[in-house]
Amino acid sequence: MSGHAGLRYAFARVHHGETEMVSHLEHLAAKHRADHEIYFVALDMAEWSRTNLRQSAQVAADHDIGLSQRSPGPGPLDRLQEGMSTLLGRRPEPGLLLLEDLRDAYLRASQTSLAWEMLAQHAQAAHDTDILELAGRCHPQNLRQIRWCNTMLKTLAPQTLTSL
């Protein structure tokens, strides 16, 4: 089938990006557990990516493309970092680490957004409505991740960077 390799590539990029988002957001939450807003929002956003992974794996399977429906869970390192986060509190050093983690999340979410765009463009060209509907459901959650990271960076950067 012509275009199947392109579809496989686009699904693989989406899958990789959403998997990275789950892992990074859970890591971010564990590392910054003392900051409740960061902790809870990051966990919520990781769940959005988990949902995107499940939905994209189901639609990919309908197109004979195998993707794992399992997403990574927190590991022992995350639990250790949760404890360290509580001990460190809100000194400038953890603030700088948080800025770096938010920056990384922003960049990963942006890469994932590009993958969703590629998948949607392929679906549009192929007139594939189920993939277009998938992108219409999942990509907005990813865009919300980007906006949240951007907002948090704009909010935290001035205070963090001037306190160094």
What pLDDT, on the 0 to 100 scale, is given for residue 1? 44
Residue ranges, the chain, pLDDT below 70: 1-2, 69-92
Task: Provide the 8-state DSSP code for 134.
Answer: H
- Cα end-to-end span (Å), the chain: 57
What pLDDT, on the 0 to 100 scale, is given for residue 87? 52
**H-helix segments, 63-91:** 76-88
What pLDDT, on the 0 to 100 scale, is given for residue 71? 47
Whole-angstrom distance, CA of residue 97 vs CA of residue 127: 44
Q: HSE (CB half, 13 Å, CA atoms) of 145?
A: 33
Which of the four CATH numbers 1.10.3470.10, 2.30.42.10, 1.10.10.10, 1.20.1260.10 does domain 4-162 have? 1.20.1260.10
Q: What is the dihedral of CA 82, 28, 40, 143, to 10 degrees?
A: -170
Whole-angstrom distance, CA of residue 45 vs CA of residue 23: 11
Q: Is 93 exposed, middle or buried (0-12, 13-18, 19+ CB in 10 A)?
A: exposed
> CA–CA distance from 67 to each of 23, 55, 80, 94, 120 (Å)?
17, 10, 30, 36, 17
Neighbours of 112 (CB within 10 A): 27
What pLDDT, on the 0 to 100 scale, is given for residue 2? 54
What pLDDT, on the 0 to 100 scale, is given for residue 163? 87
> CA–CA distance from 9 to each of 35, 96, 123, 164 (Å)?
37, 36, 13, 44
